[in-house]
Structure 1
Amino acid sequence: MRRQLTLTARLTLLYTLVSLAVLLGLGLFVLRVTDAHFVELDEELLRDKSRLIVQIVADSRSADELARHLDHLLSSHQGLHAELHAGDRIVYDRDALGLAQAVRRLKGAVPPFEWTQAGRTFRALVIPLEPTAALGGSQPLVLTLALDIHHHQHFMQALTRSLAVYLAVAALASGLLGWWSARRGLAPLREMKARAQRVTARQLEHRMPVQDVPVELADLAQGLNTMLDRLQRDIERLSQFSGDLAHELRTPISNLLTQTQVALAQPRDVQAYRDILASNAEELQRLARMVSDMLFLAQADHGLALPRPERIVLAEEVRALFDFYEALAEDKGLRLVADGACEVMGDRLMVRRAISNLLSNALRHAWPGTTVRVTLQARATEHVLTVRNEGPDIEAQDLPRLFDRFFRVDRSRRHGHSEGTGLGLAITQAVMRSHGGYASAWSGQGHTEMSLHFPRVQPPRDALT
Structure 2
Amino acid sequence: MTQRFSLTTRLTLFYTLASATVLLGLGGVTSLAMNQHFEDLDRSLLEDKIHLVQEVASKATSRKDFEDRLNDVLHSHEGLIVAVQASGKILYETAPLKIPDRYASQIGRDLRTQSVSNWQDTGHQYRALGTLIASDFQRDEPLAVWVALDTKSHDHFQAHFQTTLVFYVTLATLFSGLLGWLAANRGLAPLRIMRTRAQAVTSNKFEERMPVEAVPVEMADLASTLNDMLDRLQEDFRRLSEFSSDLAHELRTPISNLLTETQVTLSTKRSNEDYQDVLASNSEELQRLARMVSDMLFLAKTEHGLALPSQETVEVEVEAQALFDFYEALATDKGIRLELDGNGAINGDRLMLRRALSNLLSNAIRHASPDSTVTIHIESTHDWTEVSITNPGNTISPDMQPRLFDRFFRVDKSRTHPESDGAGLGLAITRAIMDAHGGGITVSSEAGMTRFTLRFPKASGLTANTNVPV
Contact 2:407/2:428, CA 8 A, preserved across alignment: yes
Residues 128 and 339 of structure 1, relative CA distance in 2, 3 Å threshold: farther
For 1:233, the equivalent position in structure 2 comes to 235
SS at match of 1:448: strand
Q: Deviations over 1:342-384 (max 9, x none)?
A: 432x44333432343333334433445234234344555x665
Q: How does 1:215-294 map to 2 (within 5 A)?
A: 215-294=217-296
**CA displacement, residues 281-338 of structure 1 (integer Å, 9 cap, x when unaligned):** 1111111111111122223334544433445454544444444444444554233324
Distance 1:259 1:175, change over 3 A: same
Give the conservation status (yes or no) of the 8 Å contact 1:80–1:148.
yes
Q: Secondary structure at the match of 1:409?
A: coil
Secondary structure of 1:212's counterpart equals coil
1:229 CA displacement = 2.0
CA contact under 8 A between 1:432 and 1:454: conserved in structure 2?
A: no
In structure 2, what is the Cα distance between the partners aligned to 1:105 and 1:464? Answer: 96
Q: Identity rate of aligned residues, in percent?
A: 47
Q: Secondary structure at the match of 1:83?
A: strand
Quote the offset at 1:61 in angstroms: 1.8
Kindly state the Cα deviation for residue 81 of structure 1 after the two structures are TM-superposed.
2.2
SS of the residue corresponding to residue 420 of structure 1 reads coil
> SS where residue 262 of structure 2 aligns?
helix
Q: In the alignment, what sits opposite 2:346? A: 343
**Does the 8 A contact of 1:435 with 1:458 survive in 2?**
no
**Residues 325, 379 of structure 1: alpha-carbon distance in 2 compared, 3 angstrom cutoff:** farther
**Structure-2 residue corresponding to 1:119:** 123
Equivalent pair of 2:127/2:148 in contact (CA under 8 Å): yes
How high is the TM-score relative to the length of structure 2? 0.85
CA–CA distance in 2 between the matches of 1:322 and 1:101? 120
* Alignment of 1:36 onto 2:36: yes
Deviation readout 1:404-425 (Å, 9 max, x if unpaired) = 2212223599777543121222
Work out whether residues 329 and 336 of structure 1, in 8 Å CA contact, stay in contact via their aligned partners in 2: no
CA distance 1:117–1:288, shift in 2 (3 Å):
same
User: Which stretch shows the higher mean deviation, 251-260 or 354-363?
Assistant: 354-363
Q: What does residue 151 of structure 2 align with?
A: 149
Instruction: Letter of the 2:67 partner, please give it.
Output: A
- 1:222 & 1:185 partners in 2: Cα distance? 18
The CA RMSD measured in Å over matched residues stands at 3.3
Deviating above 6 A after TM superposition, structure 1's stretches of 4 or more consecutive aligned residues are 412-416, 462-465
Residues 1:80 and 2:84 aligned together = no
Structure-1-length-normalised TM-score: 0.86
- The counterpart of 1:132, out of the listed 135, 141, 147, is 135
Flag the 1:100–1:14 CA change in 2: closer, same or farther, 3 A. Answer: closer
- CA drift of 1:244 comes to 0.8
1:63 and 1:134 in contact (8 A); partners too: yes
SS at match of 2:238: helix
Q: Structure 1 pair 349/199, CA: closer, same or farther in 2 (3 Å)?
A: same
**CA pair 352-41 structure 1, distance change in 2 beyond 3 A:** farther
CA apart distance, 1:133: 4.2
What CA distance in whole angstroms lies between the structure 1 residues aligned with 2:169 and 2:49?
39
**Contact map agreement 2:58 2:136 (CA 8 A) in 1:** no
Displacement of 1:40 after TM fit? 1.8
Query: Distance between the aligned counterparts of 1:83 and 1:360, measured in 2?
Result: 124
Count of residue correspondences? 460
Which SS does the other structure have where 2:453 is aligned?
strand
2: CA distance between counterparts of 1:68 and 1:463?
Answer: 117
Whether the aligned pair in 1 keeps the contact of 2:355 and 2:430 (CA below 8 Å) is yes
Q: Is the 2:368–2:391 Cα contact (8 Å) retained in structure 1?
A: yes
Residue 212 (1) aligns with residue 214 (2): yes
